[in-house]
Chains A and B, each alone.
Chain A
Amino acid sequence: MLDLDAYRDAMAKCSHCGLCQATCPVYREDFLQTHLARARMDLIRAVLVEGELPVTKRFREVLDRCLLCTNCSRTCPAGVPVDEIVAAARNRVYQGKRRDPVRRRLLRRFMGQRGMKGLMGKAGTVAHKMGWTPAELAPPASKPFEKRYKGRISTEGKARARVAYFVGCATNTLYPDTGKAVVDVLVHNNIEVVIPEGQVCCGMPALADGDLALVQEMARKNVPVLAACDVDAIVTDCTSCGLMFKSKVVKALPADDPLRPRAEAVAAKIWEVTDYLDHVGLTADPPPLAESYTYHMPCHRSWTPTLDDAPRSLLGNIPEAELVELEEPDRCCGAGGTFFMDFKELAEGIRSAKLADIRRTGAKTVLTQCPACRSFLRTRLEDRRVTHPIVLLAEAYNL
């Protein structure tokens, strides 16, 4: 249940080989061993499990200065689930109170209604215009996705499949264009889309704060709604939402929780949308689209084996569209959800390497599924557009 005690053996699997140095975005910026998965595991064990060292401000900084990007886990020959251990450690240290009460209330409301809308949305727009919110944050869209699309969107003829669409916070209020493209492309390819009512945030921001109670609160709303859908698959456009439903939501629930079987059923059906489409294949051939684009791989992608290449493979179906690969397509951009707000300089440093790589390609369109990456990259790429891969496909179809 993301309880630190359950990870004792997993932590012990860290052999201190240090291979995590190759891919940890924070270490590659700081060059300090303390900010590396190997030391984080060792310190969490020494401080929170064995009690050899006290909990200090510096220890909390070591815990906080992690993007939960999962790059170290992917590199780790023993597959230590570092992100879960750090989240569980944050839960142990902060007991759900990593942020002050005002911010916690805001976050809870944000998650409950999936993004900034209503009063919050208006206030957010004003605050954005006044320069009170970080410039890195995209302004909320005028009309959230859920006000544009509802219920069942049927295909013209007989549908070959039916999917439920989980709409994350960012798509709902920041990037409804992604949501529109998801629905349009699916329907155009003869797949019926159901948008279940009563969805809330996937819970990732709460997981990052170690606020397990809030993760569970979200799960208790989402899981019954999604599990009740009579569909072939559940799709999401966001790789982090997908990661939550694939592996974290189940783990966040107590072992004997009656909701767990349904959470497992959701986990079995969840797909990232480009991965799903690539898997079932397109029924409509996309017309040519002369566009050169590059692809930034979101960090939260290893929850299915085919996700790494799915967008490349899917967009490979568009004649004349040309992918210019980044030198390091899998290198983190530094956004990390809201990490960039907590560690501004560090995130800036991580991003600068990514930006240089993107500029080198000369591509005018940058694609990535993660809305945090999209927003964070966009603010420093004035002369390029950053969008979701599915949007490019929708454009090719002229939808």
Chain B
Amino acid sequence: MKGLAKDLKRLVASERVRTDPEDLFAYSADATYYIKRGRPDAVVLPENTKEVSALLKYAFHHAVPVTPRGAGTGLSGGCTPLRGGIVLDMKRMGRILDINRRNMSAGVEAGVVLADFHKAVKKQGLFYPPNPQSMNVCTLGGNVATRACGPHGVKYGATGDYVMGLEVVLPDGSVIAPGGLVSRSSAGYDLTHLFTGSEGTLGVITKANLRLLALPPAHRTAMVTCETIEQAGEAVSEILAGGTLPAMIEFLPRMAIAAMNRYITPPLVTEGKAYLLIDLDGTRDEIQAQADQILGICRRMGVLDIRVIEDEQEAATYWTARSNIGGMLLAMMKKAINEDVAVPRDRIPEFVREIQAMASTLSRVVLGIAGHAGDGNMHPSIFFPEVNSDAENEAEAVIRKVVRLGLSLGGTVSGEHGIGFHKAEFLHWELGEVQIRLLKRIKKAFDPKGIMNPGKLWKEGR
């Protein structure tokens, strides 16, 4: 793309336009680098909406592809620049614009890091629940663009439930602000939530108004060791049906516990087949009542062990370990692929059992499963002891089987990671061709030239 860099440097300060091969390489992928990389023609780091608008106007006029990017932690290739063009790194738009305690809302730029936002609202006694496990680095813009969620989903829902309004730059450079500062609206088509989860294919999200809750006064962590997977599944159902709604309830297999024990003292016994890591929140009395109920249910079911962690610092080590499982297992393996199939809550035991049956037939890769049991969002993961074409083939085949299984149980191909390019084919399976055609027409209405994040969501040429 001749003259691109020169043109872009007229629109934003030259040090924020990068075209060296090393920089283009650094922006070639997200955490799915091993599946596919792209090569952008330029990386641009805008600092405000005006710059984004000018950049899109230029890209629209010259039909240059644009791929927005947050922290690049995605697990489905959403920000991989498949058709070259411009990667828009939004990290420099990282200001928290306001925290409105009386309206329980906050205005943020797209590049704000989730954990920083958590901290900032907490200082005012407020709470923003979505907590994908990359929260220490991932951006709110990326969260909105993928409808990210995390363990809090069971009680508090996903990012989409907190988006009240957005500022979006459309592909032609015009700026719109669907939604606003109210938590409900019946004003026509809900564009706010159409952009939420649009993965950068309709425009660039530059700002968001997010709904906040009051910070729960207290927390307590519990770890339940179950004899079997069925027992763990049944415990989850019983706990929820019994009226206790934990803030988080994570399903962990034995394999994950072995890795987590690096962080936990005293280490957990590893004779259980399944574990439930639970966080209770609320007032101290509420927590005590919830804990009593859970203890009662678990005892009645005859689980192997229940550990209630009173000390908050000690409890934090469990959650740190939980968020680091993927990386820790990777320290033992050569490569990992993380999926996020979600199934109806009552089908979890069946899903897990089938997955384990599949796992036992594998010889070149290891199939493990953990997940946010409370809302059925499971994470089947494929680990490679060695990387070679046999292993790749076996992995690909088993991923397809896992996704088919999830769909057959009434689930979805993606609970929280998004589609990107990695799951494009699976989206066809889930939605069917009529819905896919409808999506394409919606896309065309927003992005007639197809410059926004091309190659994502669905298979091209179909």
Taken residue by residue from 163 to 200, chain B's Cβ proximity to chain A (1 for < 8 Å, 0 otherwise) reads as 00000000000000000000000000000000000000
**Is A123 part of the contact surface with B, judged by Cβ < 8 Å?**
no
Known: A17-B134, A18-B31, A18-B73. A77 touches B330 (CB 8 A): yes
Taken residue by residue from 1 to 45, chain B's Cβ proximity to chain A (1 for < 8 Å, 0 otherwise) reads as 000000000000000001011110111011101000000000101
Known: A32-B45, A42-B25. A18 touches B134 (CB 8 A): yes
Docked Cα-Cα span, A46 to B28, in Å, equals: 13
Complex interface residues of chain A between 20 and 58 (CB less than 8 A to chain B):
21-22, 31-34, 36, 39, 42-43, 46, 53, 56, 58
Docked Cα-Cα span, A76 to B136, in Å, equals: 12
Contacting residues, chain A, for B113 (C-beta < 8 A): 22
Residue among A36, A56, A62, A78 with the most chain B CB within 10 A?
A78
Contact assessment for A15 and B22 in the assembled complex, using a CB-CB cutoff below 8 Å: no
Contact assessment for A77 and B18 in the assembled complex, using a CB-CB cutoff below 8 Å: no
Which of B22, B73, B334 is within 8 Å of A62, CB to CB?
B22
Which of A34, A56, A78 is within 8 Å of B26, CB to CB?
A34
**Is A19 part of the contact surface with B, judged by Cβ < 8 Å?**
yes
Distance in angstroms from B18 CB to nearest chain A CB is: 7
Docked Cα-Cα span, A17 to B26, in Å, equals: 13
Which of A21, A56, A77, A78 is within 8 Å of B22, CB to CB?
A56
Range, interface on chain B = 35 or more
Contact assessment for A33 and B72 in the assembled complex, using a CB-CB cutoff below 8 Å: yes
Known: A18-B137, A78-B331. A33 touches B27 (CB 8 A): yes
Docked Cα-Cα span, A33 to B20, in Å, equals: 13
Contacting residues, chain A, for B26 (C-beta < 8 A): 32-34, 36, 39, 42-43
Known: A19-B134, A21-B137, A77-B326. A34 touches B72 (CB 8 A): no
**Is B235 part of the contact surface with A, judged by Cβ < 8 Å?**
no
Distance in angstroms from B158 CB to nearest chain A CB is: 21
Which of A17, A39, A58 is within 8 Å of B20, CB to CB?
A58
A53 to chain B: closest residue by CB: B21
Contact assessment for B71 and A21 in the assembled complex, using a CB-CB cutoff below 8 Å: yes
A-B contact count (CB 8 A): 96
Contact assessment for B22 and A17 in the assembled complex, using a CB-CB cutoff below 8 Å: no
Distance in angstroms from A161 CB to nearest chain B CB is: 29
Contact assessment for A78 and B328 in the assembled complex, using a CB-CB cutoff below 8 Å: yes
Complex interface residues of chain B between 294 and 352 (CB less than 8 A to chain A):
324-328, 330-331, 334-336
Complex interface residues of chain A between 49 and 81 (CB less than 8 A to chain B):
53, 56, 58-59, 62, 76-79
Contacting residues, chain B, for A13 (C-beta < 8 A): 330-331
Docked Cα-Cα span, A125 to B399, in Å, equals: 67
Contact assessment for A15 and B326 in the assembled complex, using a CB-CB cutoff below 8 Å: yes
Contact assessment for A16 and B331 in the assembled complex, using a CB-CB cutoff below 8 Å: no
Complex interface residues of chain A between 186 and 241 (CB less than 8 A to chain B):
none
Range, interface on chain A = 20 to 34
Contacting residues, chain A, for B215 (C-beta < 8 A): none
Docked Cα-Cα span, A39 to B26, in Å, equals: 5
**Is A12 part of the contact surface with B, judged by Cβ < 8 Å?**
yes
Known: A31-B91, A31-B92, A42-B33. A58 touches B22 (CB 8 A): yes
Distance in angstroms from A109 CB to nearest chain B CB is: 35
Distance in angstroms from A15 CB to nearest chain B CB is: 5
Contacting residues, chain B, for A59 (C-beta < 8 A): 22
Contact assessment for A77 and B327 in the assembled complex, using a CB-CB cutoff below 8 Å: yes
Docked Cα-Cα span, A33 to B45, in Å, equals: 11
Contact assessment for A56 and B21 in the assembled complex, using a CB-CB cutoff below 8 Å: yes
Known: A15-B31, A18-B73, A59-B22. A78 touches B137 (CB 8 A): no
Docked Cα-Cα span, A17 to B33, in Å, equals: 10
Distance in angstroms from A306 CB to nearest chain B CB is: 14
Known: A31-B45, A42-B26, A77-B326. A15 touches B336 (CB 8 A): yes
Contact assessment for A16 and B29 in the assembled complex, using a CB-CB cutoff below 8 Å: yes
B91 to chain A: closest residue by CB: A31
Complex interface residues of chain B between 188 and 233 (CB less than 8 A to chain A):
none
Distance in angstroms from B30 CB to nearest chain A CB is: 7
Contact assessment for A16 and B137 in the assembled complex, using a CB-CB cutoff below 8 Å: no
Contacting residues, chain B, for A36 (C-beta < 8 A): 26
Distance in angstroms from A238 CB to nearest chain B CB is: 29
Contact assessment for B330 and A15 in the assembled complex, using a CB-CB cutoff below 8 Å: yes
B115 to chain A: closest residue by CB: A22
Contact assessment for B327 and A78 in the assembled complex, using a CB-CB cutoff below 8 Å: yes
Contact assessment for B23 and A19 in the assembled complex, using a CB-CB cutoff below 8 Å: no
Known: A16-B29, A18-B31. A77 touches B324 (CB 8 A): yes
**Is B416 part of the contact surface with A, judged by Cβ < 8 Å?**
no
**Is B89 part of the contact surface with A, judged by Cβ < 8 Å?**
yes
List residues of B whose CB falls within 8 A of some A CB. 18, 20-23, 25-27, 29-31, 33, 43, 45, 71-73, 89, 91-92, 94, 113, 115, 134, 136-137, 324-328, 330-331, 334-336
Some 21 contacts from A to B, beta carbons below 8 A apart, are A13-B331, A15-B31, A15-B327, A15-B335, A16-B72, A17-B31, A17-B73, A22-B113, A31-B94, A32-B18, A33-B23, A33-B27, A33-B43, A33-B89, A39-B26, A43-B26, A56-B20, A58-B22, A77-B324, A78-B330, A78-B331
List residues of A whose CB falls within 8 A of some B CB. 12-13, 15-19, 21-22, 31-34, 36, 39, 42-43, 46, 53, 56, 58-59, 62, 76-79
Besides A22-B137, A34-B27, A58-B20, 7 new A-B residue pairs in contact (Cβ under 8 A), listed by A number: A13-B330, A16-B30, A16-B72, A18-B134, A21-B71, A42-B33, A43-B25
